């Protein structure tokens, strides 16, 4: 479904991503791991069009998307959440998700219809599936950090993506919240038939839910394979897992 081939991105002299390869098949859950500064978030920003790659190709469903702006890439079926909470803090939880649903249904441009009663069912369905329905009318900025991270995912779901990219979905969460969130992600993937690409620092989580793991180190893709393969790989052990 998604292929990243020899992608390079540098900021001035610093090569944040220096030869990244990644393959994501339909329906898979793929994890990207690597130490801080390995270029995981930069890679995600390149895939979603927030940044433009210097070299290489990014192919989604057989089409090169590396030159498209973010809003076009979203329309192709890629949604994302952010590592640092990135929501609409002044709007209610409901409207946060509604913005995405309206955009998905190409209704955002309508000028004289009241938005209040549009796409209510779809929006509430998403809020219910992530467990935020009872907070639908709270102002998003007033939610707890954990709920805001969940709202991140809910907004991304509003676009009915085929590929959902989650950048550290559990960053800053308590252990209970973390396991609840991972359960939620697994459940969503099954229910909606989503393909998921995510990055995460907690190795237990990564090895428990990912079908395929890609390891990044200093901007390079070291290896991509099944969890057992990655765990056994000597280069990975040396570079990242720290096992003797």
Partner 1 sequence: MWGKEERKLFTEVIRSKWFGFSVGLFLLLLILPFFIPRFYVYILALIFVTSLLAMSLNLVVGHGGLFQFHHGVFYGVGAYTVALMLKKTSLPMWTGFIAGPILAAIIGFIIGWFCVRLTRLYFGMLQISLGSLIWAIVFRWYSFTGGDDGIPGIPMPPLLSSLKSSYYFILIILILCLIAMYMILKSPFGNTLQAIRDNPQRCEAVGINVKRYQLIAIVIATFFAGVAGVLFVVLERSVFTELLFWVLSLEIFIMCLLGGWFTFAGPMLGAGIIVALRTFVGIFTEYWTLILGIMLILLIFFLPEGVMGYFQGIFKPRTRETTKGGNR
Q: Which residues bind partner 1 (CB under 8 A)?
A: 48, 50, 69-71, 74-75, 79-80, 82, 86-91, 95-96, 98-100, 102-104, 107-118, 134-135, 137-139, 141-147, 155-156, 158-159, 174
Residue 143: what are its φ and ψ, rounded to 5°? -70, 160
Closer residue to partner 1, CB minimum distance, 86 or 218: 86
Q: Is 35 exposed, middle or buried (0-12, 13-18, 19+ CB in 10 A)?
A: middle
User: Residue 203 CB, nearest distance to partner 1 (Å)?
Assistant: 25
Closer residue to partner 1, CB minimum distance, 97 or 230: 97
User: Residue 198 CB, nearest distance to partner 1 (Å)?
Assistant: 16
User: Residue 239 CB, nearest distance to partner 1 (Å)?
Assistant: 31
**Exposure class string for 111-121: b at 16+ Cβ within 10 A, else e:** eeeeeeebbee
User: Residue 103 CB, nearest distance to partner 1 (Å)?
Assistant: 4
Closer residue to partner 1, CB minimum distance, 152 or 210: 152
User: Residue 109 CB, nearest distance to partner 1 (Å)?
Assistant: 6
Instruction: Say how far apart CA 142 and CA 138 lie, in whole Å.
Output: 7
Closer residue to partner 1, CB minimum distance, 36 or 113: 113
User: Residue 154 CB, nearest distance to partner 1 (Å)?
Assistant: 11
Residue 167: what are its φ and ψ, rounded to 5°? -95, 105
- CA atoms in the 13 A half-sphere facing the CB of 137: 2
Q: What are the residue ranges of helices labelled H in the chain? A: 40-47, 70-76, 93-104, 120-130, 145-157, 175-192, 203-209, 227-232, 234-236
User: Residue 207 CB, nearest distance to partner 1 (Å)?
Assistant: 27
Closer residue to partner 1, CB minimum distance, 101 or 221: 101
Contact 59, 2 (CB under 8 A): yes
Instruction: Say how far apart CA 21 and CA 18 lie, in whole Å.
Output: 10
**DSSP H or E segment with residue 31:** strand 29-33
Closer residue to partner 1, CB minimum distance, 124 or 233: 124
Closer residue to partner 1, CB minimum distance, 119 or 221: 119
Q: How many CB atoms lie within 10 A of CB 67?
A: 10
């Amino acid at each position: 479904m998604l292929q990243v081939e020899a992608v390079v991105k540098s900021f001035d002299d610093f090569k944040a991503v220096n030869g990244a390869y990644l393959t994501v098949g339909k329906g898979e859950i793929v994890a990207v791991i690597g130490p801080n500064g390995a270029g995981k978030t930069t890679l995600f920003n390149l895939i979603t069009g927030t940044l433009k790659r210097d070299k290489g190709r990014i192919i989604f469903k057989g089409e090169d998307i590396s030159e498209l702006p973010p809003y076009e890439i979203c329309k192709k079926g890629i949604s994302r959440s952010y590592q640092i909470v990135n929501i609409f803090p002044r709007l209610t939880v409901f409207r946060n998700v509604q913005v995405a649903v309206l955009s998905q249904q190409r209704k955002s441009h309508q000028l004289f219809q009241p938005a209040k009663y549009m796409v209510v069912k779809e929006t509430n369905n998403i809020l219910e599936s992530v467990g935020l329905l009872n907070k639908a009318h709270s102002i998003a900025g007033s939610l707890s950090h954990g709920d805001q991270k969940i709202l991140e995912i809910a907004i991304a779901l509003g676009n009915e993506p085929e590929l959902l990219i989650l950048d550290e979905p559990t960053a800053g969460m308590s252990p209970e919240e973390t396991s609840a969130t991972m359960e939620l992600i697994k459940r969503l993937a099954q229910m909606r038939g989503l393909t998921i690409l995510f990055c995460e620092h907690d190795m237990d989580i990564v090895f428990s839910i990912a079908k395929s793991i890609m390891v990044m180190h200093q901007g390079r893709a070291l290896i991509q394979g099944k969890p057992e393969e990655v765990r056994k790989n000597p280069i990975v052990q040396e570079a990242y897992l720290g096992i003797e």
